[in-house]
Amino acid sequence: MKFDTPATTNPIDRLTVIGKPTSRIDGPLKTTGTAPYAYERHDVVADQAYGYPVGAGIGKGRIASLSVEEAEAAPGVLAVVTHRTAGKLGKAERNAAPLLGGPEIDHYHQAVALVVAESFEQARAAAQRIRIEYESGGGAFDLAHAREAMGDSAEHKTEDSTVGDFAGAFAAAAVKLDETYTTPDQSHAMMEPHATIAAWKGDRLTVWTSNQMIDWAATDLAETLEMPKEKVRVISPFIGGGFGGKLFLRADILLAALGARAAGRPVKVALPRPMIANNTTHRPATIQRIRIGAGRDGKILAIAHESWSGNLEDGKPETATDQTRLLYAGANRLTGTRLAHLDLPEGNAMRAPGEASGLMALEIAMDEMAERLKIDPVEFRILNDTQVDPEKPERPFSQRQLVQCLRTGAERFGWSKRSGEPGRVRDGRWLIGMGMAAAFRNNLLTKSAARVRLDRRGVVTVETDMTDIGTGSYTIIAQTAAEMMGVGLDKVLVRLGDSSFPVSAGSGGQWGANNSTAGVYAACVTLREAVARTLGVNSADAEFADGLVRSGNRSVPLAQAAGESGLSAEDAIEYGDLAKKAQQSTFGAHFVEVGVDAATAEVRVRRMLAVCAAGRILNPLSARSQVIGAMTMGVGAALMEELAVDPRTGFFVNHDLAGYEVPVHADIPQQEVVFLDETDPMSSPMKAKGVGELGLCGVGAAIANAVHNATGIRVRDYPVTLDKLI
């Protein structure tokens, strides 16, 4: 189904199932511990052996000598895989460095070996007996240093986006800001580690894994193993968190496949927790310079945002300036990213890549400007709202309720009680402050397919390679099929995460909910036509409700219409150029109250509120959970999360959940989420957009701004730890 004109009224608009708060249909599987996660698939294939990976002990250089004999002779060992025995491997474009290193080493903990043994303990013990000597080859690991070395040289720049005359307008502006903000390297720290069971049958390979993007994984696995994609099957029905860390083929999948080939047995591999931070991808650190010039009336005249980040040779910059192109008005603009070569592990997408880091900087800068202008921070943002793309004024936003988010949030949060002057409010030993920030994240459209089947019991089965990374995909897909076919949720079966199913949008970039349900919508439209044909009625006149198909004065049970052999349909949603005609984005506002201990500078978040405008909310219950989770992640980003780089070795030192701090329940206070009424007819027939990443965007800055309001101290270097407040 081609979607290239704005959506009109359709069966989804009935909202009998869609839009209703609905508990996860997969909830019982999870709460009873029976949801089949990759590493625990004892049921799928017999005779599984265990693989234990070895990561490189240097950040850059080469293997000088490698000896595996002792490991091979260790008890229970079935095989040892290294670059010498792995055979020729390709490298997928989506991987910045080979997933199996050697002799060249591209980054710390790049996999260099896998030991396969009868038991996990035997594999782990034998892995200690692999002897490797390295020649360390220098390497660049320090972003601040790399930025200095780069100077203003053009070779590191992506093309700047410029409008008007930034330099002239900034120089002439009455009120100015020119500040630099830094965000650290961050790790996804999902609960379930990357894990895979691989089994070969002749030249066909099946992997049971934990991956957000099934088709990317299948494509890249085939490319890496230099085998036809049709011979690869990727199965990933349950994922214990991803946050972008499982968007790509990673070492567990490749190593399990190679180990299984070498051992002649199915092999399971989980990346050990202490290896994940360095072996996989992370959100790269940024240095962001922001300049804003405004008139005394508070109108922005000039805005510039430049972001420096580092990556491996084939890696990309963190797109931390994207939101600055679209969020506020201003006639003279300059935005761009600069990329330093660093030999740290690959930097790549982590929840709301680009905007999450970018807003941590931009929304402190906006707070600082408001302070200089003596305008309330909420009013300053409202004053600079735009209803059109500020770079291309002929292009409107499909929907933009930023102002409504800000006003609703201010009202609900009691913003009027905030002291404009910092350091004035106390509650016993606590200095109290309020802060806020705007939230922004784009809405991306991408093709998504599904297959639906109606059987003689009237059960609708949906199959698509869409994944559920804890987000609630199973439930919103079931709601979509139920709404479209006019049946209850108990009559819908959803099967996800298998490369033998039609290719969906997958889970990434908060595009999963809208696109994957729109693909199911398309397949259901085709199935409704098939049902109507069978009954000899016009599908436009047929009404699907209450398990019946009604047309004129006929009313036939859906089960009966399916016939003995059932009916099935497959279709995809495909997008025309609607996204070019109007900018599709999601908006929100975050409000936070913090307490800062006057003696120790300990920061405690006391209250949080998010107001979101993100198209139709398909399931208010799971959408709220997404935003609550994202706000929690924002607390981590603001106050705790930081991969500590050893600049001598390029090693993330705090590479486990003891050293890499994320918020726990005791850190999370009262959180409220409000969704504004919105439907976006430009986004899809579902009229929905993404919300899972929006909830994170801006949270960090709202907390930093609240800390400033409490203490008068402006911290521009995340995380806002107490040493920066004393």
Nearer to ligand MOS, 240 or 293 (CB): 240
Residue 486 in contact with ligand MOS, rule: CB under 6 A: no
Nearer to ligand MOS, 247 or 434 (CB): 247
Residue 353 in contact with ligand MOS, rule: CB under 6 A: yes
CB of 630 to ligand MOS, least distance (A): 11
Structure-token pair, residue 356: 């999450």
CB of 100 to ligand MOS, least distance (A): 24
Catalytic member of 192, 355, 463, 693: 693
Structure-token pair, residue 205: 């390979």
CB of 508 to ligand MOS, least distance (A): 3
H or E stretch including 629?
helix 620-639
Residue 345 in contact with ligand MOS, rule: CB under 6 A: no
- The count of residues in the chain is 726
Four-residue CA torsion sign, 150, 155, 157, 163:
positive
CA distance 634 to 236: 28
**Number of shown-chain residues binding ligand MOS (CB under 6 A):** 11
Query: Residues 198 to 237: which contact ligand MOS by CB under 6 A?
Result: 212
CA distance 494 to 464: 8
The number of beta carbons lying within 10 Å of the beta carbon of residue 536 is 8
CB of 36 to ligand MOS, least distance (A): 21
Nearer to ligand MOS, 212 or 384 (CB): 212
> Of 58-66, 129-137, 326-334, 350-358, which segment contacts ligand MOS by CB under 6 A?
350-358
CB of 246 to ligand MOS, least distance (A): 8
CB of 693 to ligand MOS, least distance (A): 7
The number of beta carbons lying within 10 Å of the beta carbon of residue 681 is 17
H or E stretch including 518?
helix 512-535
CB of 206 to ligand MOS, least distance (A): 24
Active site residue 529: no
Four-residue CA torsion sign, 11, 12, 14, 16:
positive
> Of 2-10, 240-248, 269-277, 582-590, which segment contacts ligand MOS by CB under 6 A?
240-248
Burial 251-273 (b: 16+ CB within 10 A, else e): bbbbbbbbbbbbbebbbbbbbbe
Residue 242 in contact with ligand MOS, rule: CB under 6 A: yes
Query: Residues 490 to 529: which contact ligand MOS by CB under 6 A?
Result: 508-509
Q: Which of 107, 265, 325, 351 binds ligand MOS (CB under 6 A)?
A: 351
CB 471 within 8 A of CB 9: no
Let me know how many helices (H) and strands (E) the chain has, helices first: 17, 30
Task: Give bridge partners of residue 30 from the DSSP assignment.
Answer: none
> Of 343-351, 411-419, 482-490, 706-714, which segment contacts ligand MOS by CB under 6 A?
343-351
Query: Which parts of 519-577 are beta strand (E)?
Result: 543-545, 548-551, 554-557, 567-575
| Dihedral Cα 17, 21, 26, 32, nearest 10 deg | -140
Q: Which is nearest to 41 in space by CA: 211, 267, 249? A: 267
CB of 527 to ligand MOS, least distance (A): 30
Closest residue to ligand MOS, based on beta-carbon distance? 244
> Of 138-146, 195-203, 238-246, 438-446, which segment contacts ligand MOS by CB under 6 A?
238-246
Nearer to ligand MOS, 48 or 446 (CB): 446
CB of 242 to ligand MOS, least distance (A): 6
CA distance 623 to 621: 5
CA atoms within 13 Å, Cβ hemisphere of 377: 31
> Of 25-33, 87-95, 117-125, 344-352, which segment contacts ligand MOS by CB under 6 A?
344-352
Residue 349 in contact with ligand MOS, rule: CB under 6 A: yes
Query: Residues 581 to 600: which contact ligand MOS by CB under 6 A?
Result: none
> Of 51-59, 128-136, 346-354, 696-704, which segment contacts ligand MOS by CB under 6 A?
346-354
CA distance 276 to 489: 38
Q: Which of 12, 247, 520, 702 binds ligand MOS (CB under 6 A)?
A: 247
Q: Which of 240, 244, 259, 315 binds ligand MOS (CB under 6 A)?
A: 244
Nearer to ligand MOS, 244 or 298 (CB): 244
CA distance 473 to 497: 11
CA distance 635 to 599: 22
Q: Could you write out the DSSP letters of every residue in 67-136? A: E-HHHHTSTTEEEEEETTTS------TT-SS-SB--SEE-STT-EEEEEEESSHHHHHHHHTT-EEEEEE
Query: Residues 539 to 568: which contact ligand MOS by CB under 6 A?
Result: none
H or E stretch including 28?
helix 27-31
List contacts with ligand MOS (CB under 6 A).
Answer: 212, 242-244, 247, 349-351, 353, 508-509
Mind telling me the catalytic residues?
693
